[in-house]
Amino acid sequence: MAKVVARPDLSFWESVYFIEIFKGLATTLGHAVRNLARPEGFQTLDYPEEQPRLPRDYRSQHRLMKRPDGESRCVACYMCSTACPARCISIVAEESPDHHIEKRPAKFEIDLLLCVFCGYCVEACPCDAIRMDTGKAVIVGDSRAGFVIDKAKLLDWNPADYPAEDLRSQEAPGGSRNAEARAALKSGTHH
């Protein structure tokens, strides 16, 4: 059964409303005067020359993780597109030439205009193939087609842009752990 919450009774001065409006305006004016008197208190940024520092777990533009040989870690299992509430991920699978992997994505596209940046795709991925840690929070373009990022754009990242503690990123080509990861891949112990 629903609980009924009674509205509070307003005093005469509160029901006049003009006094409440003037109280709100006084608060706003007080903040404005305080900030104009002390402009050094403004937290400003010289954007775009100075980029904002984003927390490490900030959900920004997507990237596909790479294997040590440069191929995508994605095995085209469709878990990310199934978990996506906005239905913005499109995958077309093909057979993989590597006998350890059944399939890989022939086409992998994300429509950023539909994406709500919820991170469900990252959570659903069983093999850590997709991440949202690029730090690209401001995404601009001059056409709708520019907001559909394909497999090539998702794989276009540099391990040097990620911290040394991110071991999976450092296993990609150009990373600090790539040589040992390639050796493990050749021996068959790398997954």
**d(C-alpha 65, C-alpha 179), whole Å:** 17
pLDDT tens digits, 16-66? 888 889 999 999 999 999 888 988 877 888 888 888 888 888 999 999 999
Phi, psi angle pair for 90, to nearest 5°:
-125, 125
99's tokens: 């006998």
The β-bridge partners of 105 are: 93
**b/e burial code for range 38-56 (CB count within 10 A of at least 16 → b):** eeeeeeeeeeeeeeeeeee
For residue 111, is pLDDT > 80? yes
Q: 């373009």: which residue's tokens?
A: 141
User: Quick one: pLDDT band at residue 190, thresholds 50, 70, 90?
Assistant: low
155's tokens: 């794989």
**d(C-alpha 189, C-alpha 67), whole Å:** 13
Contact 135, 91 (CB under 8 A): no
pLDDT tens digits, 134-178? 988 888 889 999 999 999 999 999 999 898 898 889 999 998 898
Which pTM value belongs to this model? 0.74
Sorted by where each starts, the structural domains of the chain and their CATH numbers stand as 63-156 (3.30.70.3270)
